[in-house]
Structure 1
């Protein structure tokens, strides 16, 4: 049974922005500035260039293959089943880590001390219920959350760029080439939301036109927002941002506008919920596509006849994310997520590079830039995150090899 095509261009852009804004603005600045130091703007530019190369690859593939599953489906069609499996598995594990990071970010801003873990788990459960009642409800809620987020960010950036700091900002660490690249790898975590648009290709109206436009619009909007916030944080907080768990709240304090802090906390909570909602939706669709091919258990391929969503997949993913929330660390989740997502996009670029004829929409040079950028950024991620990521990817490969062998017996 196919999914219903109900998402418009505005819905798709909102889902993409909702996936990016929360992560980039409210979760990643401390580790990214800690790694890149005074080269943080260079790191942001590198992450944006790699993201653009990846976005054009995703857009080109989505236009030719307007089905659920994103690069899992694209790579199966363009390169082969094994490439598709590694892409889908990397997406699922990386984005499950992202879900946990977003839930923790929401709780850090919205919950009182001591209640962060149960509040984060409750948020995952509540949004999983929303997803189970239909994709149009998901798109509407995402639009509301994105608007709330952008209003709060506008307040923080306005005060940060327009007011004189009450104290001199702390010095930024000196930049190194390795540090800048590691910072770019961590910042890439914030740019990966446009993948959610591609993974929902079976539910978008006129996907061959809507998906490429939505991906470019969502990414462009996110780049503008990240740049403004980065400049404001660096000018007002400087190196002090490295120790900040809530940099935009601290930015207001330093700018003498502490009275506006509740607005930022509400915006941060809304942004994190928007990212979490869109992440859960995208992972569910990739899991659905993998289940249809038996790359994960086939019972997850069931689509609810009333609401036209893969409810079993949504529920299973929510349970796993809640388990991670109970034991995970925010910075570790960001590094692990970046590993999975960068590997996913490396395969997306390889698949798009092989397209020919009328399927080609962008120069192959963009796919080369995207693929090489992914490899470089993966190599500079924290060692522990890369080691765990590689181990989980190999575990998935072992599972598929065992399933294929048993199927031949």
Structure 2
């Protein structure tokens, strides 16, 4: 598990195909970060903070971008699939910690996919209120699994095309804000209003916690490192650059929404950005614009969910080669070059999560979208903090002239920020830990299977994680 040999960027023995360009990687990052979070959860942020909720997005994106810089440094050292789990394994050499990181990341990705699929069905109902929401979510999930099976290049190209569409939707919101300002009706005082009772700092922290789901996704980019052309050159610019652009867009969209729609109306809506369009500020048919924006929102959710579905089997693939999960997850399809076993397993787990969530949701107990979003944030914040620590711990190891180095003081700020948001999230809703535990149990089963039978098909005298035995017979 503590093996630290670093492959070169041109190593093709892994079986994954290097086909993602730097430009595609930039849009892959941008499309994932600029996903459904801003479309679906902005109302919760407004409810927590008030008219100044753009501050929560600005601070949240800043902390996420600093964390992204840590990922960029580590990717240039270890351009392999597996992402955070690989970095933590390199830094600490602990089987247990690597296992917990892997499973936490998988659990977060599963929760995010479930939340997004549920959100997709909600928006779908605004266009066609026919099929049951659960059926829409499951068919949606199946379609993305099929696209992912076809291949990573096709998935990334589709992601890039959908990114243009979802950015167009956010540009519409910003355009409405500009039009409203030009008419002279804007009250800029609302942008400084933290209209909540209690401590304003805690109100902003609550807003950051809610908004952080919209910031997540950049970590998925690290999991396609093994399929990226020249990752040393592509990753720092594409990953950090994509996050900076996303952050600017988030702040501008938040300002436009706060200026054009009363904060209480935003706070009470499950589709807050749609409320901006419904104001009828632009000189176009409001019904047409509402329908158009709903379709754009569906595409935005599809884009984000596609990236989570791409990520899950690649985490399993990378960690199967490190002997943390059963070796069967290292299987790739002979012609499509996709990690198909992990893909099928991931689809089944998310489908089961949707079924269980639907059962509780129909009982009136939870809001599935918000619940799974919070679970995602709690799990990822813990991982982000560990990645920053790993980045600092690995300084001076496996480096050459091509290695990117993040700013150390900023990494310390990012670590404190991640821990602060994590602590507040758990304090604000401790029941989220129950859902986290349930998802982590899936990984426990995988680990126990690997621990019990993995050694049977590993050559005698070899150890876990030995790259020479990566092609052992799968469990």
Where on the TM-score scale, by shorter chain, does this alignment land: which range?
Answer: over 0.9
1:194 paired residue among 218, 235, 243: 218
C-alpha spacing 1:392/1:98, structure 2 compared with 1 (3 Å): closer
Q: Does 1:35 align with 2:48?
A: yes
The aligned counterpart of 1:279 is 308
The aligned counterpart of 2:154 is 137
C-alpha spacing 1:314/1:396, structure 2 compared with 1 (3 Å): closer
C-alpha spacing 1:404/1:284, structure 2 compared with 1 (3 Å): closer
User: What is the alpha-carbon distance in structure 2 between the residues aligned to residue 408 and residue 123 of structure 1?
Assistant: 38
Q: Would you tell me which structure has more helix in proportion to its own residues? A: 1
User: What is the alpha-carbon distance in structure 2 between the residues aligned to residue 393 and residue 122 of structure 1?
Assistant: 25
User: What is the alpha-carbon distance in structure 2 between the residues aligned to residue 203 and residue 408 of structure 1?
Assistant: 29
**CA contact under 8 A between 2:72 and 2:404: conserved in structure 1?**
no
Q: Does 1:270 align with 2:314?
A: no
User: What is the alpha-carbon distance in structure 2 between the residues aligned to residue 194 and residue 145 of structure 1?
Assistant: 16
Following superposition, the deviation at residue 406 of structure 1 comes to 7.8
1:335-354 to structure 2, matched below 5 A, reads 335-354=374-393
**CA contact under 8 A between 2:165 and 2:300: conserved in structure 1?**
yes
The aligned counterpart of 2:462 is none
**CA contact under 8 A between 1:38 and 1:174: conserved in structure 2?**
no
Deviation digits for residues 352-390 of structure 1 (CA, Å, limit 9, x no counterpart): 011223456122222222222111111111222244325
C-alpha spacing 1:222/1:239, structure 2 compared with 1 (3 Å): same
1:385 paired residue among 432, 448, 458: 432
Following superposition, the deviation at residue 408 of structure 1 comes to 8.7
Q: Which consecutive residues of structure 2, in runs of 5 or more, have no partner in the other structure?
A: 1-13, 358-367, 457-475
Q: Does 1:116 align with 2:146?
A: no
**CA contact under 8 A between 1:68 and 1:286: conserved in structure 2?**
yes
User: What is the alpha-carbon distance in structure 2 between the residues aligned to residue 265 and residue 325 of structure 1?
Assistant: 22
User: What is the alpha-carbon distance in structure 1 between the residues aligned to residue 433 and residue 46 of structure 2?
Assistant: 20
1:297 paired residue among 315, 320, 326: 326
User: What is the alpha-carbon distance in structure 2 between the residues aligned to residue 235 and residue 315 of structure 1?
Assistant: 45
2:179 paired residue among 159, 162, 171: 162
Following superposition, the deviation at residue 105 of structure 1 comes to 2.0
Q: Does 1:146 align with 2:163?
A: yes
Q: In structure 1, the residue corresponding to 2:325 is in which secondary structure?
A: coil
Q: Does 1:174 align with 2:174?
A: no
**CA contact under 8 A between 2:60 and 2:212: conserved in structure 1?**
yes
The aligned counterpart of 1:45 is 58
Structure 2 length as normaliser, TM-score?
A: 0.80
1:4-403 to structure 2, matched below 5 A, reads 4-80=17-93, 81-111=95-125, 112-113=128-129, 115-163=132-180, 173-174=195-196, 176-237=200-261, 238-257=263-282, 258=286, 259-328=288-357, 329-357=368-396, 358=399, 359=403, 361-381=405-425, 382-389=429-436, 392-393=439-440, 396=443, 400=447
Structure 1 length as normaliser, TM-score?
A: 0.92
Q: In structure 2, the residue corresponding to 1:304 is in which secondary structure?
A: coil
Deviation digits for residues 84-120 of structure 1 (CA, Å, limit 9, x no counterpart): 2222211110111111122122222223336322112
Q: In structure 1, the residue corresponding to 2:417 is in which secondary structure?
A: helix
Q: Alignment RMSD, CA only?
A: 2.6
Q: In structure 2, the residue corresponding to 1:66 is in which secondary structure?
A: coil
**CA contact under 8 A between 2:232 and 2:404: conserved in structure 1?**
no
Q: Which consecutive residues of structure 1, in runs of 5 or more, have no partner in the other structure?
A: none
C-alpha spacing 1:236/1:279, structure 2 compared with 1 (3 Å): same
- The count of aligned residue pairs is 409
Following superposition, the deviation at residue 166 of structure 1 comes to 9.6
Q: In structure 2, the residue corresponding to 1:361 is in which secondary structure?
A: coil
User: What is the alpha-carbon distance in structure 2 between the residues aligned to residue 145 and residue 395 of structure 1?
Assistant: 31
User: What is the alpha-carbon distance in structure 2 between the residues aligned to residue 360 and residue 105 of structure 1?
Assistant: 37
Deviation digits for residues 317-368 of structure 1 (CA, Å, limit 9, x no counterpart): 1122122223430010110010111111111111101122345612222222
User: What is the alpha-carbon distance in structure 2 between the residues aligned to residue 220 and residue 106 of structure 1?
Assistant: 26
